[in-house]
Copies of this chain bind each other. A is one copy, B any other.
Amino acid sequence: MTEVNIKELLASYDKKNLVIATACSHSSLQLFNGAKKEGFKTLGIAIGEVKKYYDAFPLGKPDEFFIVENYKDIMKCAEELQQKNVIVIPHGSFVEYLGPKNFTTLNLPTFGNRQVLQWESDREKERVWLEGAGITMPKEVKDARNIEKPVIVKYHGAKGGKGFFIAKTFAEFSKRVKHDKPYTIQEFVMGTRYYLHYFYSPIQDTGYKLKKGSLQLLSMDRRDETTIDEVQRLGSIAELEELGIHPTFVVTGNIPIVMRESLLPQVFKMGEAVVEKSLELFGGVIGPFCLETVVTEDLEFKVFEISARIVAGTNPYVSGSPYSELIQPDLSTGRRIAQELRYALKHDSLEEILT
């Protein structure tokens, strides 16, 4: 898939002066903060101009800015960035801005396995991966006339859940749906949402060991979506629909949360199975990933999505979470990534965590 030859790329790098880089958005404050804590130099890739808001956060500000006119221009600058010994830490916005194809072929050492993208962005492959790992996902409804229980309708590629809607019957569905865009009809799973932030290391095997490497749980959050998550202050969705007001599912932030401890064995079993299936399918999901789950009244998990890199839901935990505190004080996901690079540097195994 990726044509990047990581061995070759790294050969020219000055390993004592690696620079951790990412795009100036999403979770970049946390990533730069974590990298600094582990003694790395940092570089922020920004559009058009230096982003002034970093000035307000000295411990999250990159040492250097790299300005491009638009993110796609990064492709042309790969060589220049190589000369700076840049390692890219991709986050959701980085991948989105660059575009999946560019991301896959970007000629820079990138933390994590870029192969994962095709398995994560294609709903059918995602299902093969997750269900193959024994995960329960919400069912898909192929034919809208078969809607018997509440469903959520998701337009493909819709940014931040825009246009998504919930329907309880075929009639409701028909009233709302726009047929000019491709969509998926998914069982709406009743329950409470937990976004689980894992970290998989293929090179360290202390801790919760897998067949290869080890797994951590660094934190959890609940995503906060406008307008759906405050809509109850006005009325029920059905009442609002009648007034022509349609709730939306656009992410605006994240709320910290913990889960009852008796569910943790299931949490680890899911994470373990997802990693091991990924090793089998495409060489493994490396570093941070997130299972987006709903816990039902029977205390069963349904996973409605996987994000195969750092999620913004880790941002409440810049200085540690109730889970990471049980690993090491002051450990964010951003810092954990930097630690993984440090470890790989020391053990000469960068090629196993970069692609």
Contact = CB atoms under 8 A, between A and B. Distances in A.
Given A234-B188, A236-B236, A327-B58, A250 B29 contact: no
A315 to B, nearest CB: 5
Given A26-B261, A227-B296, A319-B325, A56 B190 contact: no
Interface stretch (A73-81, A113-121, A131-139, A263-271): A263-271
Contacts of A29: 261, 326
B59 A326 contact: yes
Contact of A234 (B60, B237, B297): B237
Interface residues of A, number: 91
14 contacts: A27-B261, A58-B206, A190-B227, A192-B253, A193-B230, A224-B257, A228-B233, A236-B236, A236-B238, A251-B260, A252-B259, A254-B258, A255-B257, A261-B312
A168 interface: yes
A107 to B, nearest CB: 26
Among A60, A206, A297, A318, max chain B CB count under 10 A is at A297
Q: How many copies does the complex hold?
A: 3
Contacts of A256: 255-256, 316
A276 B52 CA distance: 16
A184 interface: no
A262 interface: yes
B322 A315 contact: yes
Interface stretch (A10-18, A82-90, A207-215, A277-285): A207-215
Contact of A208 (B25, B55, B168): B55
Mostly, the A contact residues are: mixed
A150 interface: yes
B299 A261 contact: no
A28 interface: yes
A344 interface: no
Nearest to A237: B235
A208 B216 CA distance: 36
Given A166-B233, A318-B323, 12 more contacts: A58-B327, A59-B327, A168-B234, A192-B229, A229-B233, A248-B297, A254-B257, A254-B258, A254-B260, A255-B255, A316-B322, A317-B322
